[in-house]
Amino acid sequence: MGYLTITLVGVIILYALLKCLTILKTVPDEYLQQQSYVDATRLPNESAIHKSIKKPMLRVGLDIRYDQYKLRSGNLQDVWSIVINSLHSDQNKGIAIDGDKMVTFGYINYCIREWKRRQAADPVTAINIPVDHKVDARFVVAVLIGFVLQIPVQLYQGRKNPVSTARDEVDLTEMDLPGGGNDFVFENVYSPAKDKGIALRFVKQVRPGIDVLVEYTQLNIISAVASSIKHLPYNFDASRKSITIVPHSSIEGTMDLLVKLLMAFVVDMNVHINYDPDFSTDITSLPDSAIYRQHQQQLHNSSNWLRLRLRLRQVAYNHGIFKSAKLIYVQSQLSKPGLTSQQRNQLAVSHDSHVIQEYQLFNVMGPVLLTDMFEHRTYGAHFGQIAQSLEMKLVNVDTGSGGVGNVMIRGYTIGKSTHYINGEVAPSDHAGQYEKKDDGFMPLPSGIRGKFGTDGCLYLS
């Protein structure tokens, strides 16, 4: 066989292999090259405004139809109505906590009814919960009482709320919850007042004596829930599926737990709250620190054959060949992500689940950035697409460094921040990095810089 013939056969074989790889890919390469909608660039030293490509745009709320004709954003009482209406088929539904402890929705609704009566006679103005409190039945019931009855829930670090100013507050440990009972009726007569008010407050200690209070309205929370639903895989029928949420004693971890919990309510998923996940449910949501430690330990204890099998699957995954009906959400802090793209791919293969990494900031409800479900590319920088509830641009862009600039965001999931020094409201100049500008954009902390790729993703530098 001549040299020319051998070369021709080799080219044909290579072409056939590449063709097979293309056919086997979960999504075409072009899919990952279009992850943002980009406006025209308007101002010097600024990038264009980037928006999510998720259509139709659903940044404001749940778009709940009311009285058969009026479309509105929705509120937390609407979310609870969805839960109670779902009980017609199964009155034993609830939230499984730590494996075998079921808190039924009927019992939670009974507690809400009893607290509504108490509010009429002796109202409380807020419910205080330390952020490191174990997420147990009392925690879940108290938060839902606050959300449904429009009693602000205040989560804080330390032994007491350092910036509490309201009277007639109640601490979680002092809340008198009924010992039993069920109620399967929830009347939700709409009025505009039900859309308003502060639903959630977080107090984060920046440094000793310096705290930041972040307030979230119902609209902030509903928009985060709507955004999470919109980012579910397009072919993922969430109804009757199950989700495990792993608590984490941090501001960001608690925010994620609340958003995922409400998302599960709206799409009718079975909810498990478990500190030790077994990844047996359809969706698992947990912080990056917990999952990667566990992954490394599993890999260390696995056999040589299993390691070889995982390596082969890793090669296929790196070429975009991977299918699974399961999903893992991994939360990372935007300022200090604890998981690289290569590690994310390793987790997907080892747990046979698609992985979405969500980059979070304590004064934004839900993620700021998140990776696509089918993202298999491995780059050195942390990167992702903008959340559906936000818009993003760069300012002070340094053209000499490839377009790196300071990141600014605008949207309905950003909370209102107030700085405190030793319990007193700080002068406005201390809160400058969290204040919105005239165009509604808020700068991220100065240490967070990045650039947009041609694929529409933001690459953190």
User: Are residues 4 and 77 both part of a single domain?
Assistant: no
pLDDT at 301: 59
- 222 closest CA partner among 331, 59, 416: 59
Strand order in the sheet with 126-130: 169-171, 126-130, 153-156, 198-207, 210-217, 416-421, 424-425
- Give me the amino acid identity at 138: R
pLDDT at 53: 85
* Cβ neighbours of 31 (radius 10 Å): 15
User: Are residues 6 and 43 both part of a single domain?
Assistant: no
pLDDT at 23: 63
**Angle formed at CA 304 by CA 302 and CA 307, multiple of 5 degrees:** 65
- From the number of C-beta atoms within 10 Å of its C-beta (0-12, 13-18, 19+), residue 90 rates as exposed
pLDDT at 73: 83
| Backbone phi, psi, residue 123, to 5° | -70, 145
Range of the domain at 49: 34-460
Number of structural domains found in the chain: 2
pLDDT at 440: 84
pLDDT at 107: 96
pLDDT in tens, 292-316: 666 566 655 566 656 667 778 888 8
d(CA 403, CA 284): 36
User: Are residues 210 and 335 both part of a single domain?
Assistant: yes
User: Are residues 277 and 379 both part of a single domain?
Assistant: yes
SS3 readout for 70-120? EEECCCHHHHHHHHHHHHHCCCCCEEEECCCEEEEHHHHHHHHHHHHHHHH
Residue that wins the pLDDT comparison between 215 and 4 = 215
User: Are residues 156 and 18 both part of a single domain?
Assistant: no
Residue that wins the pLDDT comparison between 211 and 428 = 211
Q: How confident is the model at residue 328 (pLDDT cuts 50, 70, 90)?
A: very high
pLDDT at 273: 96
Average pLDDT over residues 419-425: 84
Place of tokens 């698609």: 354
Pairing of strands 64-66, 283-287: unpaired
Average pLDDT over residues 378-406: 89
Structure tokens at 107: 């019992």
User: Are residues 16 and 96 both part of a single domain?
Assistant: no
pLDDT at 310: 76
pLDDT in tens, 218-246: 999 999 999 998 888 766 676 778 999 99
User: Are residues 403 and 437 both part of a single domain?
Assistant: yes
C-alpha dihedral over 393, 396, 399, 402, to 10 degrees?
Answer: -50
Q: How confident is the model at residue 16 (pLDDT cuts 50, 70, 90)?
A: low
Number of H helices, E strands in the chain: 9, 25
- State the pTM of this model: 0.89
User: Are residues 291 and 352 both part of a single domain?
Assistant: yes
Average pLDDT over residues 145-168: 84
User: Are residues 317 and 208 both part of a single domain?
Assistant: yes
User: Are residues 165 and 299 both part of a single domain?
Assistant: yes
User: Are residues 2 and 92 both part of a single domain?
Assistant: no
Task: Using a pLDDT cut of 70, give the percent of the chain over it.
Answer: 84
User: Are residues 144 and 7 both part of a single domain?
Assistant: no
Q: Is the pLDDT of residue 369 over 90?
A: yes
CATH assignment of the domain containing 428: 3.40.50.12780
